[in-house]
């Protein structure tokens, strides 16, 4: 059964004439006749008394309200798809990691609201793995997260690299490591660490880095907000490895300090067991959506704003880090 057959049935019912129904549908009378015959074959009973004035049979009368309802739903569905392609949607949902929500997204959100004031923006701060999961489940339109190729490796996913940033050490201002401008690996591994909860990309990144160096990560606590990290770290000897963009507020806090991790040249001369140490602790932040969503104007526009502002935002953050 096809929608054209139902439309032909309704046209014949309304006009009472196959010829008039053909004109209404913009097809030939023979086409209308074939569509009605095919529909009757599918249903197994005649729908019309074919006299000088075409009238519904008992089966046609029973079928009419169902056909009307189906065609009305089809019209609504077509209208909704047309509205979607025209950029008429009630909301746009974004999931992003905490540092992106705090420092990267605000100017983009403001620009988008100016361009699409009728669309409700919904932004949720989530860990990378969780954000990618809700994207795959269709609960959000865009995720801005740490790259995780295991979760984005599917044909419908579109991944745009935004920037890469170094991971540094957050500590209390009176921490023993404060005397180092660049903290050696041999000293870093001595102290317990505060890490993001399981499901956050940063925990996986740090765990993998320590594992590659064949050293056990001393996890003292798991948290999920930057405010909590700052509150715990300033209390004692626990440290945290965090990306630069997550440390902007910490650099303005007189009770906290940020230090770099020893560069590759310093580490190449060191070994743990038989493993040569290399400092490649950076994170890559990406924007992820699906190919079908990029066909929707507001979503495509939001993605363009993110890409356009990527370099500008990074320059502003770097200048702020230098000043502090």
pLDDT digits (tens, 9 = 90+) for 75-111: 898 888 887 777 778 899 999 998 899 888 999 999 9
Q: Which of the 8 DSSP states describes residue 200? A: S
Q: Using CA atoms, how far apart are residues 212 and 215, in angstroms rounded to an integer?
A: 8
Q: Which residue has better confidence, 155 or 278?
A: 155
pLDDT at 179: 93
The pLDDT score that the predictor gives to residue 319 is 53
Q: Residue ranges per domain, the chain?
A: 3-85, 91-162+287-323, 164-283
Please, what is the average pLDDT of the chain? 86
Q: Which residue has the higher pLDDT, 321 or 315?
A: 315
pLDDT at 324 over 50: no
The residue-averaged pLDDT of 132-139 equals 93
Domains 91-162+287-323 and 164-283 share a fold: yes
Please check the confidence at residue 132 and state whether its pLDDT lies above 60. Answer: yes
pLDDT at 153 over 90: no
The per-residue pLDDT for 91 is 92
pTM reported for the whole predicted model: 0.72
Report the percent of the chain where pLDDT is more than 70.
90
Predicted confidence (pLDDT) per residue in 234-281, tens digit? 998 999 999 998 999 899 999 999 999 885 444 444 443 333 334 458
Contact of 104 with 144, CB cutoff 8 Å: yes
| Arithmetic mean of pLDDT, 208-217 | 84
What is 164-283's CATH number, 3.40.50.1000, 3.40.50.300, 3.40.50.10890, 3.40.190.290?
3.40.190.290
- For 3-85, CATH number? 1.10.10.10
Contact 226, 251 (CB under 8 A): no
Cα distance between residue 196 and residue 88, in whole Å: 38
**In the chain, where do the E strands start and end?**
48-49, 55-56, 91-96, 120-125, 142-146, 157-172, 182-183, 193-196, 219-223, 240-243, 256-261, 271-272, 275-276, 282-290
Give the per-residue pLDDT at 313: 53
Which two three-digit tokens encode residue 160?
A: 């745009």
Rounded-to-integer distance, Cα 308 and Cα 320, Å? 20
CATH topology for 91-162+287-323?
D-Maltodextrin-Binding Protein; domain 2 (3.40.190)
pLDDT tens digit sequence for 286-317 = 999 999 999 999 999 999 999 988 766 555 54
Which pLDDT band, with edges at 50, 70 and 90, does 154 fall under? confident
pLDDT at 316: 52
pLDDT at 263: 58
Q: Would you state the pLDDT for residue 143?
A: 96
Q: How far apart are CA 121 and CA 285, in angstroms?
A: 21
């Amino acid at each position: 059964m096809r929608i054209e057959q139902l439309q032909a049935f309704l046209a014949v019912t309304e006009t009472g004439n196959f010829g008039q129904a053909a004109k209404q549908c913009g097809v030939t009378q023979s086409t209308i006749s074939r569509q009605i015959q095919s529909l009757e074959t599918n249903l197994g009973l005649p729908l019309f008394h074919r006299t000088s004035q075409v009238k519904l049979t008992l089966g046609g009368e029973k079928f009419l309200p169902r056909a009307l309802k189906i065609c009305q739903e089809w019209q609504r569905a077509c209208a909704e798809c047309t509205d979607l392609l025209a950029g008429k949607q009630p909301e746009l949902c974004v999931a992003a990691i905490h540092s992106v929500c705090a420092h990267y997204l605000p100017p983009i959100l403001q620009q988008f609201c100016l361009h699409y004031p009728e669309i409700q923006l919904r932004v949720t701060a989530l860990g990378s793995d969780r954000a990618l999961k809700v994207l795959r489940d269709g609960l959000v339109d865009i995720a801005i997260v740490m790259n995780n190729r295991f979760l984005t490796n599917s044909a419908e996913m579109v991944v745009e690299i935004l920037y890469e940033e170094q991971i540094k050490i957050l500590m209390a201002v009176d921490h023993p490591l404060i005397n180092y401008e660049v903290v050696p690996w041999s000293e870093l591994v001595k102290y317990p660490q505060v890490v993001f909860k399981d499901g956050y990309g940063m925990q996986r990144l740090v765990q993998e880095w320590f594992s590659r160096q064949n050293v056990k990560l001393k996890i003292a606590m798991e948290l999920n907000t930057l405010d909590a990290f700052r509150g715990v770290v300033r209390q004692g000897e626990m440290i945290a490895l965090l990306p630069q963009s997550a440390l902007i507020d910490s650099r303005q806090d007189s009770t906290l300090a940020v230090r770099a991790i020893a560069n590759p040249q310093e580490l190449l001369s060191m070994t743990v067991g038989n493993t040569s140490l290399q400092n490649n602790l950076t994170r890559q932040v990406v924007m992820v959506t699906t190919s079908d969503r990029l066909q929707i104007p507001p979503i495509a526009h939001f993605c363009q704003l993110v890409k356009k502002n990527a370099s500008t935002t990074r320059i502003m953050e770097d200048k702020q880090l230098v000043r502090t």
